[in-house]
Chains A and B, each alone.
Chain A
């Protein structure tokens, strides 16, 4: 692979984050090679969402450095997109599906410029990817949980980011939609995008991800799934009661 010499999509070095005086993440080292899809798993309260937020610069760290494609985050902010948890916004807000997807283009537009034909066409293409074209003019409060998740994905796609970070994209989504989203994510990876996904279902880790980070305030293990996602590591992450499940048939 020619990528070997290229910098990783994401490198985290000694990241420590605290809320008030309570350390949530302790001395995190993590490396995510470009063109991979990595799952971040760990028990509740392990700091998975915090890891995403601080990596995105939304939570100031107490210590540590984050590099994206070999550069400090501020310089490559536009190459990173974030898909927040679905419940992080008010779905009763007066907006259509198209409105929300168009928000992904705002960053490129900058202050004052409004989205035009080009942006609408991009948004439409993204809606086609997530199979939501028919709902383009629907009010967002009429959507199901899975549909809400999919328009958040579409909104991230129109940001044209190279690194996508997602917080539990499968939460509250039915099995069929989950499979559709996974296919979509694998398609993005095959196009050379890098994905970091907070996930909670251990059973699907080997099927969904190439790389895995096991997190419980500290990184227990991080690397290719085959080598990293072992009984011993899972036990250390979850405190002994959980084993690597047999993958689904």
Chain B
């Protein structure tokens, strides 16, 4: 099978895995942990490489995962002193670990392919060239197996611990009282997140991992009412971004990771605008309707009793004249107001409406 096929497999596996992992991060308001992890794993990778001198060893991923967990533990310990706020302690710890990794890479590995731009950009275009060869047979690119394997680990972890993870994020106090060991589960979960991050890191680079982990869940959050549906929708958006990004990359003749993240960002933007309940457009139209109802009620109030003429209304309602006309049109059409010569007054129905405050015009 060709390089394109394998690149597509890797893209979809990466997009799917990241979009699943990110749901719990977004729901737990710790989205930037992915940012931290995607950098803090570096010293783990470099250290393992210096020791082993083998870029394809699975120990690299474990060592990187350990560096990620180290970050999590340090951030939590620093925050617990209450001398540094949560977000600031993340901001202190992960760049520190990342910079240690950069120093190690620059001094020890100047001549290898661990260049800074590879760390930041990832290298999906080249990963299919890294083959898995066992006993002389070429089984395809090694990263494809790693990504699909990691995807299965993530899916299995979430499927097995779904109920426990949900409770841990929403109400850790109750989780603890019911015996579900939330602190331990959180560390185990972040361990899985760091393994996922480091395996995606090689493919997508440290910045785009964050895009793939946070953007689809953030869009899914605007579309869904519960965690399970958010997982499904986020996964779908992750796969969509991966596939569209792949073909966009193909068309532009560039590596697919950039297009994948751009597509994910574009999808988010569309969802932000048109999400049925929580989108910007839905919110704007809801507010417009509310404002209109409010104006109609205020107008009815002005007309209560003897009614009023146009001049009176314009003097008492500091609105655009067209807004007054529109409110009159609406209330006349609704049978709440009648026009009599130059004056408007309430119908019986309009009168009843004024007497029951709170109801809508």
* B251 in contact (CB, < 8 A): no
Does B170 contact A90, Cβ atoms closer than 8 Å? yes
Binds B, one of A104-112, A183-191, A227-235: A104-112
Does A111 contact B164, Cβ atoms closer than 8 Å? yes
Residues of B within 8 A of A96 (CB): 225-226
Does B163 contact A106, Cβ atoms closer than 8 Å? yes
Does A106 contact B167, Cβ atoms closer than 8 Å? yes
* A65 in contact (CB, < 8 A): no
Complex Cα–Cα for A56 and B29 (A): 27
Please tell me the size bucket of the interface on B.
20 to 34
Query: Contact partner of A94 among B163, B177, B224, CB < 8 A?
Result: B224
Query: Contact partner of B29 among A90, A107, A115, CB < 8 A?
Result: A90
The verdict on A139 contacting B171 (CB below 8 Å), with A56-B177, A58-B176, A94-B27 known, is no
Tell me the A88-118 residues at the B interface (CB within 8 Å).
88-90, 93-96, 99-100, 103, 106-107, 109, 111-115
Q: Across the two chains, which residue of chain B brings its CB closest to A81?
A: B177
* B166 in contact (CB, < 8 A): yes
Number of A-B residue pairs with CB-CB distance less than 8 Å in the complex they form: 68
Tell me the A19-49 residues at the B interface (CB within 8 Å).
none
Nearest CB in chain B: distance from A98 CB, A: 9
Residues of A within 8 A of B171 (CB): 84, 88-89, 103
Residues of B within 8 A of A218 (CB): none
Interface of B is mostly: helix
Complex Cα–Cα for A99 and B27 (A): 15
Nearest CB in chain A: distance from B59 CB, A: 31
Interface of A is mostly: loop
Nearest CB in chain A: distance from B324 CB, A: 34
Q: Across the two chains, which residue of chain B brings its CB closest to A113?
A: B163
* B221 in contact (CB, < 8 A): yes
Complex Cα–Cα for A95 and B160 (A): 19
Please name 26 pairs of A and B residues whose Cβ atoms are closer than 8 Å in the assembled complex, sorted by A: A58-B173, A77-B177, A77-B179, A82-B173, A82-B177, A84-B173, A88-B171, A88-B173, A89-B170, A89-B171, A90-B170, A93-B27, A93-B170, A93-B227, A94-B221, A95-B226, A96-B226, A99-B227, A100-B170, A106-B180, A109-B163, A112-B160, A114-B163, A137-B225, A138-B225, A139-B226
The 4 closest A-B pairs by CB, nearest first: A107-B178, A139-B225, A93-B170, A94-B230
Seed contacts A94-B226, A138-B225; 11 additional CB < 8 Å A-B pairs: A57-B177, A77-B177, A90-B170, A95-B166, A95-B227, A99-B226, A103-B167, A106-B164, A107-B177, A109-B163, A112-B160
- Which B residues are closer than 8 A to A by beta carbons? 27, 29, 160, 162-164, 166-167, 169-171, 173-174, 176-180, 221, 224-227, 229-230
